[in-house]
Chain A
Amino acid sequence: MLVMAVLLSNTACSSPSAPSPTATPAVSLPSVDRSAGAGARASLNEITGELVLPMSAYWYSDRENVIVNSAVASLIFDCVEEAGFTVAPWGGGGKALQDGRYGQWSRKLAAKNGALPEIRVIAGVMDEQPERPVLSAEHQAAETKCTNSVGRAGLPELLEGLVGDSSVQNQITRNAVALTERDPEYLTFRQDWENCLAENGLTLTEQGSWSLQSSGTKEDEIRVALLEVDCKDSSGGARKPYDILAEYQAAQMKDHQAELNALAEEKADALERAKQILRDHGVADARL
């Protein structure tokens, strides 16, 4: 059973002149038997830095997010043009970061990037254009007004971690994170990793962090990042926390499959609508 715990502190209607301490929230976690998700695994691409978990299917992929955002942008720019402004040609793709929830997990990327995550380039639906010109104050005001009026054009924001999202998919994913952090196998992994770091003279930037101190040079960042991965390997493997996370996700999904099936349909519908918006704006099917 999924027990949700969304807490409301202040709302948009509260007076800004009356700050007050937020009451201790009544947050609870569901009791989840991880073994119900046994066998679920995270997919970690050591070259691109891409992470795929069981719940990933219910969020927009990087590419799908580009499509939906481009569709919404098309409508915003229509609105700006209707307000009498000329919109410069726009287009191009996106960028996505390697997941760093549990720090570095790829030896290849550690050797390449050190402490920094890999950045993936996501193909756009329209050609890359030069940097947008600086907008006049009036043009910027019109764009902001249009951004507010268009909103998300009725397209759902299936973006993991979006603030204010109380959907079942966000409940499952954040519960899985919290359950993982309490899992005995995870705690052992984390402790063994920290012990190994200490044995190698490495220090966390702060307690509980997944960031390590270095001298700041690229060479030292790479040295530290490689030791970080070495220590994870000797503690059960760098993918260990992600696999535990995957099992907690999978274990919860079984109780919510009907809702997730509906969500998958909603996502497919949204994507088709977004693609139609882009077709209506002259984007060829080959780009979608």
Chain B
Amino acid sequence: MNNILRTAGVLAVASASVLTGVTAAQAAPACSTARVCLYDDYWFTGTSRSFGWVTYNVGVDANDKASSLNVGPATDPNSPYVYFYVDQNFRGDSVVFRAGNASNDLRGLYMTPTRNWDDEITSVWG
């Protein structure tokens, strides 16, 4: 999709397990433009699956499985953000990543003080 900036209201928690820019590219396997890459295990290992930036439901096999992730470059620099949601159809808690960022361990990323993002992602909007 072209020339789109998405700014849904969301909430999330900070984490230092996010790698940015060149560092992310070095640490994480490449993820294609306008794709997000989800990994079943930490440090970008285990089964990997790639999805578009607008995915209503990642499907049974990938639902609540991601333990690390990598966001590919944006199709358009004018639209640099991707939202990950805990429920299908972009419902429930969410967290925002910028294109090119990655998280090597979603246990370190909290949606609430007692719940992290490990094995929680169900839909993607960007």
Binding site for B on A (CB under 8 A): 5-12, 14, 16-17, 19, 21-22, 25, 27-29, 51, 53, 56, 59-62, 65-66, 69-70, 72-73, 76-77, 90-101, 103, 115-117, 122, 124, 128-132, 140, 143-144, 147-148, 151, 157, 159-166, 170, 173-174, 177-178, 181, 205, 209-211
Q: Please name the residue on chain A nearest to B28 by beta carbon.
A: A16
28 A-B pairs with C-beta separation under 8 A: A6-B14, A9-B108, A10-B104, A12-B20, A19-B42, A22-B107, A28-B113, A77-B77, A90-B76, A94-B5, A96-B9, A97-B90, A98-B8, A99-B10, A101-B9, A101-B93, A116-B89, A122-B5, A122-B7, A124-B3, A132-B76, A144-B100, A147-B99, A161-B83, A162-B12, A163-B109, A178-B112, A209-B87
Report B's interface with A, CB cutoff 8 A: 2-25, 27, 33, 41-45, 56, 73-81, 83, 85-101, 103-105, 107-110, 112-114, 125
Bound-state CA distance A103–B92 (Å) is: 7
Residue numbers in A under 8 Å from B25 (CB-CB): 144
Expressed in whole angstroms, the Cα–Cα distance for A22 and B91 within the complex equals 27
Residues of A within 8 A of B97 (CB): 163
Are A90 and B12 in contact (CB-based, < 8 A)? no
Contact A95 B5 (CB under 8 A): yes
In the assembled complex, the Cα of A162 lies from the Cα of B107 at a distance in Å of 16
The closest CB in chain A to the CB of B44 belongs to: A16
Assuming the A-B contacts A11-B17, A94-B79, A148-B100, are A27 and B113 also in contact, with contact meaning beta carbons closer than 8 angstroms in the complex? yes
CB pair B105 A19 closer than 8 Å: yes
Bound-state CA distance A123–B65 (Å) is: 36
Closest chain A residue, CB of each to CB of B8: A97
A-B CB pair tally, cutoff 8 Å: 227
A132 in contact with B2 (CB, 8 Å): yes
Residue of A whose beta carbon sits closest to that of B67: A19
B97, chain A: closest CB distance, angstroms = 5
The answer to whether residues A132 and B75 also contact, given A12-B20, A28-B113 and a CB cut-off of 8 A, is yes
Q: Which residues of A contact B3 (CB under 8 A)?
A: 90-93, 124, 128-129, 132
**A157: shortest Cβ distance to chain B, in Å?**
8
Point out which of B9, B20, B45, B108 has the most chain A C-beta atoms below 10 A from its C-beta.
Answer: B9
CB distance from B118 to the nearest CB of A (A): 9
Please measure, in the bound complex, the distance between the C-alpha atom of A170 and the C-alpha atom of B94, giving whole angstroms.
Answer: 13
Closest residue of B by beta carbon distance from A114: B89
Q: Kindly provide the distance from the CB of A42 to the nearest chain B CB, expressed in whole angstroms.
A: 11
A157 to B21, CA, bound (A): 15
Residue of A nearest to B45 (CB): A19
Contacting residues, chain A, for B15 (C-beta < 8 A)? 6-9, 163-164
What are the 9 closest A-B residue pairs judged by CB atoms, nearest first? A9-B108, A92-B3, A94-B5, A161-B10, A97-B8, A27-B113, A8-B16, A100-B91, A161-B12
**Known A19-B105, A159-B81, A163-B109: A211·B92 in contact at CB below 8 Å:** yes
Q: A70 CA to B97 CA in the complex, in Å?
A: 18
Task: Kindly identify which residue among B43, B56, B80 contacts A69, using a CB–CB cutoff of 8 Å.
Answer: B80
Q: Give the shortest distance, in Å, between A50 (CB) and chain B (any CB).
A: 9
Q: Evaluate contact between A73 and B76: CB separation under 8 angstroms.
A: yes
In the complex, which of the residues B8, B89, B93 has the most CB atoms of chain A within 10 Å of its own CB atom?
A: B8
